[in-house]
Amino acid sequence: MSETSQFVEEVHPQHFRMRYEIENVLFEGESSFQKVKVVQTKGFGKMLLNDDLVMVSERDEFIYHDMLAHVPLFVHPNPKKVLIIGGGDGGTAREVLRHSEVEKCTMVEIDEMVVEACREFIPQTSSVFTNPKLDLLIEDGVKYMKESKDLYDVILIDSTDPIGPAAPLFGKEFYQNIYSRLSDNGIVVSQGESPFYEQEMQKKLQSLVAPLFGCHSFYNFHNLTYPGGLWSFLFASKGLRPVEDLSETKVLDSKLSFQYYNVETHKASFQLPEFMKKVLF
Amino acid sequence: MSETSQFVEEVHPQHFRMRYEIENVLFEGESSFQKVKVVQTKGFGKMLLNDDLVMVSERDEFIYHDMLAHVPLFVHPNPKKVLIIGGGDGGTAREVLRHSEVEKCTMVEIDEMVVEACREFIPQTSSVFTNPKLDLLIEDGVKYMKESKDLYDVILIDSTDPIGPAAPLFGKEFYQNIYSRLSDNGIVVSQGESPFYEQEMQKKLQSLVAPLFGCHSFYNFHNLTYPGGLWSFLFASKGLRPVEDLSETKVLDSKLSFQYYNVETHKASFQLPEFMKKVLF
């Protein structure tokens, strides 16, 4: 790596930085919501950055998207209608629509610039945008949840951190609306933040979800390009349990193959280390 | 974080860098084996770097040391004699000697400078050096394994990457000697490298261990300050199985409390994601 290399640098508030070596900047723009950038990296493929934070890299996006989509879709006995709030790169929708029983996936992304940048430069995630089962809406997810009358079997909150455009997604009213829009067996999974760096945010999220839902639990996954490498989702449902109600037969019968997800990692991901159990209730 | 901040930068061959903000450099030296540095960071406590790679940070060392020591020590029914090769910071020995049935822990570290730098600047891990059950030898671990006639119940290979002083620890003869020095129920656990970045090294390690030991398996843990955040150990034994032979009663009876380890994470850590299962046999 020569000293004349170009880098994109991610600055974290907790006194460290990640620098990725890049070949060139493919897209750079500023929407009404955030700075949007797509870079061609060395070693990590293309990378989407919102407000200079890594959202997606081609090298490791399979992990996040596997664990966000397949965990609830294999627990739910018959998920026909799925809603994604956020997820502008398309990776979550791509994995959702691999499940043949899903009849319709609605995706509500606030920032058209993210969608268009990914459509042009990151087909690995965005090629799903031409799937006829996908209904892609450019709209405020909070407003959508307030006004929509549709019911969903699974809702996925594929959001950035609760700063900038995603801040209202960490609100009480938003989760009340989610509850109302879920069918009887409904499951919601939310981007659950870093167990190392964002314990307060995890407690906040838990305090929004716990009073509404019969069952809730954080689960962990690994991510190369998120700070600390350990990241989580929050699973909440009207009753379905994430480990006990997982149908192994359903996973086998789906004949889907994955790079990260399998029945064992699904179950293992809900086993939390002590320092998380001490923080969460 | 001001632009005049001081950083220590970890350069990874795979096109990225980690930069930690530091307050000052506490120690800097060059031994016969490697460059040794201890820095006071912001946010991560004190940090040991060998050849500019982060070995230990006060903030997250509990995870590595919990998972290296407690997994084999709770699987083994009665570990009395434990050997550590490497582990110069003392964190592994500290966790080993929390198990009251361990009568003697022998630690063989090649680099006296690492031991002395940690003794002076990182008491969080090195305070164990005064424990009377610890026999701390400054010696080449490969040579020790060849010449020692003692038998051990558990051997822990707490090494750096197989470059520099640790290279011979990834050799056939070394593992043959380990096998010979293990008691009938013996277990060896080795630092197992990054499942993301070092798949070839993992396969090499597995090819050394598999022909000798009746049972072997990688297991994963999270680490803030290792590249990618996902890291592994390789468990190998003459017969004891890492999940099935774990005694939950023994964990409870030990009355030990942990920040990371618990029975559930012990079991979960052996459940590997698909991309690891495809690489390993």
- Sheet hosting strand A104-109, strand order edge to edge: A134-138, A104-109, A81-86, A152-158, A182-191, A230-237, A215-222
Residue owning tokens 């020995």? B93
* Residuewise pLDDT in 10s, chain B (281 residues): 445 679 888 888 888 899 999 999 999 999 999 999 999 999 999 999 999 999 999 999 999 999 999 999 999 999 999 999 999 999 999 999 999 999 999 999 999 999 999 999 999 999 999 999 999 999 999 999 999 999 999 999 998 877 777 788 888 999 999 999 999 999 999 999 999 999 999 999 999 999 999 999 999 999 888 888 899 999 999 999 999 999 999 999 999 999 999 999 999 999 999 999 999 97
Residue B91 near residue B111, CB atoms below 8 Å: no
DSSP label of A213? -
CA-based torsion, B43, B47, B52, B55: positive or negative: negative
Which positions of chain A have pLDDT values less than 70? 1-4
How far apart, in whole angstroms, are the C-alpha atoms of residue B269 and residue A268?
7
Query: How confident is the model over A235-255, as pLDDT tens digits?
Result: 999 999 999 999 999 999 999
Contacts of B15 in chain A (CB under 8 A): 1, 20-21, 41-44
Token couple for B125: 């891990």
Domain boundaries along the sequence of chain A: 6-57, 61-279
**Closest CB from B43, B228, B265 relative to A273:** B265
CA A158 to CA B226: how far, in whole Å? 26
Question: Given this model, what pLDDT does residue B229 score?
Answer: 87
- pLDDT value of residue A1: 43
Look at residue A179 in the predicted model and tell me its pLDDT. 97
Active site residue B158: yes
- Which pLDDT score, from 0 to 100, does residue B3 have? 52
pLDDT on residue B1: 42
Instruction: Tell me the CATH class for B61-279.
Output: alpha beta
Nearest Cα residue in chain A from B228? A224
**How wide is the angle at C-alpha A276 spanned by C-alphas B191 and A182, nearest 5°?**
120
Output the pLDDT for position A225: 86
Q: What is the complex's ipTM, to 2 decimals? A: 0.93
Class of domain B6-56: mainly beta
Find chain A residues with C-beta within 8 A of B196's C-beta.
60, 224
Alpha-carbon distance of B86 to B165, in angstroms, equals: 10
Continuous segment of H or E residues that includes residue A49: strand A46-50
Q: Residue A122 corresponds to which tokens in the numbers above?
A: 């990151």
pLDDT for res A5: 76
Q: Which residues of chain A does B18 touch, with a Cβ-Cβ cutoff of 8 Å?
A: 16-19
Write out chain B residues lying below 8 Å of A13, CB-based: 1
CA B29 – CA B159 distance, rounded (Å): 19
Interface of B with A (CB under 8 A): 1, 7, 11, 13-21, 41-44, 60, 63, 196, 220, 222-224, 226, 228-230, 257-262, 264-265, 267-269, 271-275, 277
The alpha-carbon gap from A132 to the nearest alpha carbon of chain B, in Å, equals 29
A vs B, Cβ pairs < 8 A, gives: 123
* C-alpha count within 13 angstroms, C-beta hemisphere, residue B42: 16
> How many whole angstroms separate alpha carbon A268 and alpha carbon B270?
9
Spatial contact of A272 and A280, defined as CB atoms under 8 Å apart: yes
CATH no. of A6-57: 2.30.140.10
- Residues of A with a catalytic annotation lie at 158
Query: What number of residues does chain A have?
Result: 281
- In CATH terms, are B6-56 and B61-279 the same topology? no
Cβ atoms within 10 A of the Cβ of A270, count?
Answer: 18
CB A43 within 8 A of CB B16: yes
